[in-house]
Structure 1
């Protein structure tokens, strides 16, 4: 399913005609929801959720936070995504566990310097003390990557 901000009519048509919003949910492939989160398409994210797209144990929220897509983060958290979860699809990229920004959505936002997303996630009870697979907290990731404003929020 092609996802992008200009693809809303196509996605609507496909979903209304029986397309499975959870197709291609293998670990090594982005789901439609994860792709929409990366593409910053709130309308498509909402449409996919309405049609049953699964959010649990996936990386849509992590991706939205990593890209600084605050509106998508809001939608996903309002839909019940876990602000403190580490996605279980780490095999999405060959080097995911080697990346220091892999972990909770807060790791993704802090590791990529998205201060507003960090603030929002903290307001939504994101934990500062969760360690990612590399043993780093979100604050340590922000500091390591030189995002001092994010690091200061995570002290």
Structure 2
């Protein structure tokens, strides 16, 4: 865990800002020891709204996912961080992305009993989908895809397809 990850998790806005101002600091660095969480995941999960805002102002991408497909919205939903969810939504962060098990942030909020968050996210999903349609019609590009995570998903699908072919070949030989 880097100093930035630790400061974000602790909600130390001043330290986060100091670290981000250093040259070469990457607001989107993934923590390989903690499921590839970014500092934004940590700040969202711990409910530090001002830290979330600071990270976003310095280029943190709210569409980046952990190794299990969680966005910062999933992290905030798990912990019941409604203020963080409101902030993410106000900045057009994706609120309806499915993780590797098919769960959206709204489902995560429901699982953990954060019904106010689940209700909010359900409305945010509809608004976000309408915004994406409008953006597409106007030619506005959105930062709503984690290319690295998507590529990993494609690799896994190819591996599964190869495994299925091997199984089929084996069944046909018997």
TM-score using structure 1 length: 0.70
For 1:119, the equivalent position in structure 2 comes to: 86
Count of residues in Structure 1 that have an aligned counterpart in Structure 2: 114
Aligned counterpart for 1:104 among listed residues 63, 66, 71: 71
Q: 2:14 aligns with which of 43, 47, 51?
A: 43
Is residue 54 of structure 1 aligned with residue 33 of structure 2? no
Detail structure 1 runs of 4+ shifted over 3 Å in the superposition. Answer: none
Which one has the bigger helix percentage?
2
* CA-based RMSD: 1.3
**2:28/2:39 contact within 8 Å kept:** no
1:63 corresponds in structure 2 to 42
Distance 1:61 1:128 in 2: 15
**2:65 maps to 1:86:** yes
Matched, 1:75 2:54: yes
* 1:57/1:86 contact within 8 Å kept: no
Are the counterparts in 2 of residues 65 and 108 from structure 1 also a CA contact under 8 Å?
A: yes
Structure 1, gaps ≥5 residues long: 1-29, 91-96
**Bigger radius of gyration among the two:** 2
1:57: Cα distance to partner?
A: 4.5
Contact map agreement 1:107 1:137 (CA 8 A) in 2:
yes
Larger RCO (CA within 8 A; separation ≥ 6): 1
Q: Is residue 103 of structure 2 the alignment partner of residue 131 of structure 1?
A: no
Give secondary structure in 2 for the equivalent of 1:154.
helix
CA distance in 2, matches of 1:151, 1:115: 9
The worse-fitting range, judged by mean Cα deviation, of 48-57 and 114-123 is 48-57
Seen in structure 2, the aligned counterparts of structure 1 residues 56 and 133 have a Cα distance that, compared at 3 Å, is same
1:40 deviates by: 1.1
